[in-house]
Amino acid sequence: MATTALSRSISKRLVGSPSTWSRCLYHSYDHAAPPAPFSNAQCRILAAALGHVGQHGFTLTALGLGANEAGYIDASTHLFPDAAFSLVHYHLYTQRLALAACPPPPSADVESRIRAYTWERLRANHPVIGRWPEALALAALPRNVPVALNELSLLVDDIHFLAGDASVDTSWYTKRASLATIYTSTELFMTGDKSPDYKDTRDFLERRFKAMDTVGSTLSAIVEWGSFTASAAINVLRSKGMRV
């Protein structure tokens, strides 16, 4: 029951409303980017800490090792009120920004460029993919959901912007909601993919793009993501001895 309740909460927040999407996603060269969520000191610690995620996971241990490596004392982890989730947030934030530095896809077709940028972002999870279920579990905790969903909404807006999608009609909202669910469902699939160069994930992504043509399928994918992340969060909490 706890999983179901949390799943519904996440799904409701992700669906949101047009006003929510317009506040989060409006993007153009004429508008300043939102302020960075991390200070320079935090960035140095988090960048170093990500190198320890493979061995120690998205944990305070990795964060502490990153602080030491960056020349700070262990107590510097108190700079992060979101604790281990700060590592997840930093990965989401930096990999989203890195998309802008990618060479533009050669296709002149906007939809093909959207697919190319989506795949590029998914591939950026490779260094931490073995630990990504932990990241999803942390993102599903109620206190972290707003930040995780904000990063997701910024990501889908960035992808549309970089791909050259300048549409301003009512499809503006549905396109972004659809891409958000395509991305999250493919991200989940990727955590269990053992095929060479994630070929099965690439095929799954292409199928999702072809299938995502109705509001019903969008809502279904949202519920699927919410259910998975809620279950992951509860399993992580139980593994730490908490009764949930």
Structural domain boundaries of the chain?
A: 2-28+110-239
Confidence (pLDDT) at 19: 38
Instruction: Convert the pLDDT of each residue in 196-210 to its tens digit.
Output: 999 999 999 999 998
Neighbours of 222 (CB within 10 A): 22
Model confidence over 75-118: pLDDT tens digits?
677 889 999 999 999 999 999 999 999 888 887 789 999 999 99
Considering the entire predicted model, what is its pTM?
0.77
| Banded pLDDT at 161 (limits 50, 70, 90) | very high
Least confident of 30-34, 42-46, 60-64, 200-204: 30-34
Distance from C-alpha of 231 to C-alpha of 2, rounded to nearest angstrom: 9
Q: Of the candidates 60, 96, 179, 83, which has an alpha carbon nearest to the alpha carbon of residue 139?
A: 83
Low-confidence winner among 34-38, 98-102, 240-244 (lowest mean pLDDT): 240-244
Whether pLDDT at 16 is above 90: no
Spatial separation of the C-alpha atoms in residues 111 and 172, rounded to whole Å: 13
Asked whether residue 21 carries a pLDDT value surpassing 50, the answer given is no
From the list 179, 182, 181, 178, the residue with the least C-alpha distance to 201 is: 182
Averaged confidence pLDDT in the chain: 80
Q: How many CA atoms lie within 13 A of 15 on its CB side?
A: 17
Examine the pLDDT at 5 and tell me if it is beyond 70: no
Q: What is the pLDDT at residue 174?
A: 83
**d(Cα 227, Cα 10) in Å, to the nearest integer?**
8
Q: Are 142 and 9 in contact (CB under 8 A)?
A: yes
Q: What are the CA-CA distances from residue 136 to residues 90, 126, 191, 205, 229 (Å)?
A: 14, 15, 10, 19, 6
At residue 215 the predicted structure's pLDDT band, cuts being 50, 70 and 90, is very low
CA 16 vs CA 9, 19, 106: distances in Å: 11, 8, 34
pLDDT of residue 216: 46
In whole angstroms, how far apart are CA 97 and each of 125, 154, 162, 168, 183? 14, 10, 11, 23, 16
Mean pLDDT of 25-40: 66
